[in-house]
Every structure is written in C-alpha cells, then in structure tokens.
Amino acid sequence: MITPNDIMDRIAELVAEKFPWEDIHRELCPQGFTRPCTLIVQDECDCNVGFGPGIVELAPVFTLTTFVETDEYHHSHLAGMHQRQMALASLFLPGYLKVGDRAPKVTGLKLAGGYDYDTVTVTFSYTLLRSEFEEAVTAPLMEHFQFNSRGE
C-alpha cells in the first residue's frame, strides 16, 4: 500500500537526483531560502469511493515550484527557469512513478509560472482496496511518544 506521502517522498528523491546540489523544500519555503531550489506541495487528493466494489481510487495532485537565482533587482533568468521546469516535467514523462511495489499512473501534467518561479503540476491515479484505505487512515503517524512505564 502507498499513500500520497509516499509519492511525495519519491518525487523528492527524483528531484534530488536531478539537482543534487540544491535544497528541496516540502509544503513551504523558509524565509530567506537559498536559490536555486525546488518546493514540493501536495495540493489536493480526490477520492473516488464508487470506482468499483471494494476499491477506492485516489488522485493526488502535487505542484513542484522551481526557483532560480535572481539578480540585484530580484529578476529571475527566465530561460534558465524554463529549462529547470522542463527538467522537472521530464521526471513524469514515462507516464507513471515507481513507488515501492506500485506505479501510480500520471494522468495530468501542467506547466505554468511567472517572473519569479515556474511550476509543474502533476496528477496521479491509483487504486487501493477499501481495507488498505482504512488501514492508511487509521495508522498512527510517526511521532515522538513518551511512555511512563512506572504508572505515574
């Protein structure tokens, strides 16, 4: 079973292979972040519970935002930024993403941007058994637990 978090982890691994010398941020960029870098965000995840008997279809959407170095006027080099955008888009051109023992299908790829950043938005689709989905929903997140074994 895989979750959207597993997909995000795999995307981050591929971005790190493509740009090994750069920072990769998840969910938000810290104030004063260094450029060039890539931000990965999960935008949404559609869930189709009527896909089939006992099956749930998930369609998570991720946006990769690429930033390049800026000049003294905070202008980005657009050609370099577009080149990075194409390099990020190429990660999804096989039409699927190998994640563990699964391979979610790429069902959408959109490129957009502006003067300070470019984005690649990718949509995946994969199915889970309802029992797997319920397991993912109720599984505890990896957190720090403190146990009191003395019963105090």
pLDDT of residue 133: 72
- 14 pLDDT exceeds 80? yes
Question: What pLDDT, in 10s, does the model give residues 26-56?
Answer: 988 888 889 999 999 999 999 998 878 889 9
Whole-prediction pTM:
0.85
Q: Rounded to an integer, what distance in angstroms lies between the CA atom of residue 79 and that of residue 89?
A: 15
How many Cβ atoms sit within 10 Å of the Cβ of residue 73? 5
Q: What mean pLDDT do residues 119-148 have?
A: 75
- Name residue, tokens 């009527």: 50
The predicted pLDDT at position 134 comes to: 75
Q: Which two tokens stand for residue 46?
A: 């559609």
| pLDDT, tens digit, 9 for 90 and up, residues 102-119 | 999 999 999 998 888 999
The strand ranges marked E within the chain are 23-26, 37-52, 55-67, 105-113, 118-129
Q: How far apart are CA 53 and CA 5, in angstroms?
A: 25
Query: What percent of the chain is modeled with pLDDT above 90?
Result: 61
